[in-house]
Amino acid sequence: MDINLRMEANAIIERMTEFDGEHFDHGDAERLIAIIPMDRKPPRFTTIFSRESKSDSTEGYAAGVGNVSIPGGEEGERADTVLVGGHKVWKVGGYEVEHVKGKLTIRKMWARDALGTADQEAILDYTSSPIKLRVMRMKTISILNLEIGYATWPIWKTAR
């Protein structure tokens, strides 16, 4: 995919994902579907999990300052993603785009870095008419000390 197609795809994604109503241009959707190459082998499943860990303290020498120490011990949360199977991800502007038959998954590049990525990932579903743009909504269920997160994909916009 050359740079001109990537720039065109980025402009189309920006227009389609603006918070400007319930519809997007049907021609934009068709053009985006046409220019993003389709992957024939989607991943078997994707899972995102988080873990808590304490950071280590760091000591060293800073030029012009001398010996420095950065205390650790703070709790921090990190989100990790596990992909099983293979797929092709296209980098388009500030987005990662995956194209498998019937859908384009569009996510902001930094969406995988944190939990709670609502409104940072969308699916362009073209399996039926009209073409639909679904947006990811994160939900959680807490059972005792276990918190399970899952995503729903309600329809956000339709093509016209």
Task: Give the global pTM.
Answer: 0.66
* HSE-CB for 37 with a 13 A CA cutoff: 12
Residue-wise over 84-115: b if at least 16 C-beta within 10 A, else e? Answer: eeebeebebeebbbbbeeebbbbbbeebbeee
Distance CA 101, CA 113 (A): 27
pLDDT, tens only, 81-140 = 555 555 678 889 889 998 988 999 998 887 655 555 455 889 999 988 889 999 988 888
Distance CA 99, CA 87 (A): 9
pLDDT, tens only, 35-81 = 999 887 655 565 555 555 555 667 777 777 778 777 765 555 555 55
